Structure 1
């Protein structure tokens, strides 16, 4: 049975209302909303559930905010899509904080890549470590987890966000079980380890070309390191050094390392921004080998052997942020 304008508009209004509650972090019951719509228009709750997923697909295509828990159902229909677009454009009741999504969206690819590296070493990360590693708040983390979890599910993979656990419980939150209908998160982690330790499994990492913001570049820089405390350290140092080698000025993330200052040790918890500097990989190697030293005043000193290759940096003075 075709959908008339009244029930389609009601579905869009209900979706927008749920979106506003979502961004405001207010609880709501999707099933109850579907039942109320079904009773009003004589359709099944499942029909409204699927229509909501169609709305997510249209919003995704329009590059607008969509509810993470309503994964897009792409088969909208040639006649249905323009009607939904028209209703969405007409509606003035947009999620007022849709910009919240932009704060983490450009980090989703690096987050996924990092979690894959964590799975490959058969480890877990805590919610706090995830927030520290990528410089995001709990609200953004929640949306990122929903997106990455449903993305993995859509691609036929184990749910990647099962790797994110509570510090004390070392288990996933109850929201994980509700969202993905997985009661045994430990078993899902075992599936993840088995899946991602296969050498020939493609990673489906989202493209990161065109990244402009410093925070997005920092997130990409983080994703090369699986160890949580090291990942957070890399993020902090990258941001503090403006994404550039303090000696050469190189700003290519793949060519950079976050180096602990001499006398600082990550095993002692010395992983704050002031504990490190950003160095180009070759310069980092010289620093660790003692072929490069940096005085307390920030003066650069190369060994005689290194000086012939790095003389252009010999007169540079840097700030170590001690």
Structure 2
């Protein structure tokens, strides 16, 4: 038997998976082992091979934000080519294709966008599903994968026919409308906040369209360029302004250190040491907001980190992030040739009390804003309430 699975075998596996899902939803009992055995007899493979393939299908469903069958835990090691073929089959041979109804055309994809918009600009897949079904009880929930098709930073979007050709997200395409900020969580795409992305030809991508995505402009870089231009416009050196300039510098240091009460709370929480480097020189320690400052509600210890001044700058620029599942530091590839690369994998220092721990939701939100980190489709969360 060939090691490589044929399209016929993959289609049969996907159809069997769909039938099991339908039976489960309808409360109809079924025997998974018998289904695997029948497929094994039909194609000359082992039943265990089909069982593992079903777990691969669960992994693809999870990537597409679709519910997978409990008991068939996603097996991640699908292989890029097999994953691309499964995505193609799942998307192109769903119930709507079998019925000869082109549900994915016309206005169907706009329902997903309308749901996110009406739900306040950020919504989970389940919230979108509930909103659409309330408007249209006949809606085929397989079409919720349109959320990924519309998301400029979702790698799986390049498997869709709407995204089969190269383009940038600043060219006005109607399909560049959402930004993925979590597993199954989406917000309205804003190029100023999220940067410009592009779909580009990539023969090594592994998907049927041979396309991949990447961010081509960083909003932080643009903000820095604007700040540098303003600094240059400030004019030449004027000795008479030295005192005023010194006052401004002092004020800037105070501002960067953070609001006094917020900074003191973080100094106490982390024993007066940078949570990444361990530096304990108070003069260079600053109170960093994980989620940007938006008034007193964000001035809480769970939304803060005590950082050395240079680390604070890198954190704000999205060049350093924290992986919440293991509380490890992750460093952007842009810093690979610098001494900061040594910080990658460093464990975040713990506060003196567990109750003072930084919010994992806030860390995941910050991580989702780092273009270099968002490409891996890891689970991240929406803008948190801290």
Higher strand share: 2
TM over 0.5: no
TM-score by length of 2: 0.26
TM-score by length of 1: 0.31
Higher helix share: 1
